[in-house]
Amino acid sequence: MRKSREETARTRRHIVETGAVELRRNGIAGTGLVEVMAAAGLTQGGFYRHFDSKDALVTECLANALDSLRASIQSAAATRPGRAGVLFAIDSYLSEAHLKSESGCPFVALGSELARAGREVRDVASDAFLKLVDVIAAHLDDVGPVAAKKEALVLLSTMVGAMSLARLISDGEVTAMLLAQARKSLGRQVREGAAASRRAK
Amino acid sequence: MRKSREETARTRRHIVETGAVELRRNGIAGTGLVEVMAAAGLTQGGFYRHFDSKDALVTECLANALDSLRASIQSAAATRPGRAGVLFAIDSYLSEAHLKSESGCPFVALGSELARAGREVRDVASDAFLKLVDVIAAHLDDVGPVAAKKEALVLLSTMVGAMSLARLISDGEVTAMLLAQARKSLGRQVREGAAASRRAK
DNA sequence: TGTACATCAGTGAACGCGCGTTCACTGATGTAC
DNA sequence: TGTACATCAGTGAACGCGCGTTCACTGATGTAC
């Protein structure tokens, strides 16, 4: 049953992609290899032809998921120039669709588990976060790059925090209010950001 | 080896308190009953004399941890009147001490696991969150109660998000910058909050 | 108040079960000549 | 280009191991009279 190199590579990519979804749905500890392989249409036995360990899979799936997040924020921001792009990216992130999504932000879906993860996993998460900061900061082009980065750090903190809390709150009305309020407040911050930053100097 | 009612109650409380710490250190899935009982100085066999299941323990430990959080924020805020109290509570929350603490905010330590938890656990988390919102909102007493609640929702989102991200980032310098920047930005928001809220009307 | 018995907190061992990992096997693909 | 052999992707079963849970047992505490 040996497969061609091309098909092997395709299978591997497929495992990573379905694994990236399963991991965000059930968490790192809550996701089994049998489950990931089954979701990819395979049996558990073949897993170790592609990866050294569960940890190696987690690292790759996380990198994949973080890349999706960056791509999605980047393309949302790219629809409008400067701060308007950031506003749009924020509204997309803090949407009901993202709230219910099973392939959303890994910082929300895996946040507390990532903090306890090994060196390699945390490095992947850290690097991806800094890239995300740069994506946002690049759109805050009416202040200096350092000020833009600092501003982006705080915007992302609120985004991740609001979505994390929205996910765990069981009362749908509060959830909706929280997201709406975060969008509103970040909107104000982003619009007034340049002025506030200037004032702060 | 039967113990007196008083001692039984003390033992139970002790299990919940040590369990609340273990749970935040290792996560829900990552914490075993053997480990919790050992941390309390007991053996696993006695566990079911106090709790119906691991889930029941988790619910109680979470409630305990959330109560500690509320008490700590409440007492920090109470040291100063009005918005100054909120500023102080924010700085305490976003401190290096809290970053390294093993008995800190459950929303940060368990966030992504809570979102996947059962009805009861999520209800406990939700109720505690709303109480926390009220604690903060009570100090934003120069705007109406509804505006104060909305403002508190966003402040807490940034606090939880910043601490969650700070915990998972492996670069200590970035972590410190993120916390510092969140403190600074929230400080500005809280100080200008009343004015901004009035403007928004 | 004292006595006899029931209760039950805590121990230590055992139970299924699911997990990550390993392995013998199959047969199509890749390689060497 | 064709042939013979080595490689290896994928299967299905098995492995230890740790987990949540159960249980027989012990002996101090609580209760009934």
pLDDT of residue A43: 95
pLDDT, chain A, mean:
95
How far apart (Å, rounded) are the C-alpha atoms in residues B142 and B144?
A: 7
DSSP string, B97-154: HHHH-SSS-HHHHSHHHHHTS-HHHHHHHHHHHHHHHHHHHHH-TTS-HHHHHHHHHH
pLDDT of residue A2: 85
Q: Residue B4 CB closer than 7 angstroms to strand D?
A: yes
How far apart (Å, rounded) are the C-alpha atoms in residues B4 and B71?
A: 30
pLDDT digits (tens, 9 = 90+) for A15-34: 999 999 999 999 999 999 99
pLDDT digits (tens, 9 = 90+) for B49-99: 999 999 999 999 999 999 999 999 999 999 999 999 999 999 999 999 999
Instruction: Spell out which residues of B between 29 and 88 contact strand D, using CB within 7 Å.
Output: 31-35, 44-45, 47-48, 53-55
pLDDT digits (tens, 9 = 90+) for A78-115: 999 999 999 999 999 999 999 999 999 999 999 999 99
Interatomic distance A49 CA / D7 C1' (Å): 13
- Of A143 and B200, more confident: A143
pLDDT digits (tens, 9 = 90+) for B125-174: 999 999 999 999 999 999 999 999 999 999 999 999 999 999 999 999 99
CB contact under 8 A, B126 and A169: yes
In this structure, what token pair is assigned to residue B185? 């930005």
pLDDT digits (tens, 9 = 90+) for B168-195: 999 999 999 999 999 999 999 999 876 6
pLDDT of residue B2: 85
How far apart (Å, rounded) are the C-alpha atoms in residues A128 and A149?
A: 14
Q: Which residues contact B22 (CB under 8 A, 6 or more apart)?
A: B31, B35, B36, B39
Q: Summarize the confidence of residues A2-13 as an average pLDDT.
A: 89
pTM, full prediction: 0.95
pLDDT of residue B201: 46
DSSP string, chain A: ----HHHHHHHHHHHHHHHHHHHHHH-STT--HHHHHHHTT--GGGGGGT-SSHHHHHHHHHHHHHHHHHHHHHHHHTTSSHHHHHHHHHHHHTSHHHHH-SSS-HHHHHHHHHHTS-HHHHHHHHHHHHHHHHHHHHH-TTS-HHHHHHHHHHHHHHHHHHHHHHHH---HHHHHHHHHHHHHHHHHHHHHHHHHHHHH-
pLDDT of residue B196: 61
How far apart (Å, rounded) are the C-alpha atoms in residues B156 and B152?
A: 6
CB contact under 8 A, A174 and B150: no
Nucleotide nearest the Cα atom of B45 (by C1'): C11
Residues 81-140 in A contacting B (C-alpha not used; CB under 8 Å): 107-117, 119, 122-123, 125-126, 129-130
Nucleotide nearest the Cα atom of B6 (by C1'): D29
pLDDT above 60 (res B197): no
> Cβ(B121)–Cβ(B62) under 8 Å?
yes
How far apart (Å, rounded) are the C-alpha atoms in residues A171 and A142?
A: 39
Interatomic distance A34 CA / C17 C1' (Å): 15
pLDDT digits (tens, 9 = 90+) for A103-150: 999 999 999 999 999 999 999 999 999 999 999 999 999 999 999 999
B170 touches chain A (CB under 8 A): yes
Q: Residue B46 CB closer than 7 angstroms to strand C?
A: yes
pLDDT of residue B24: 98
Interatomic distance A22 CA / C23 C1' (Å): 27
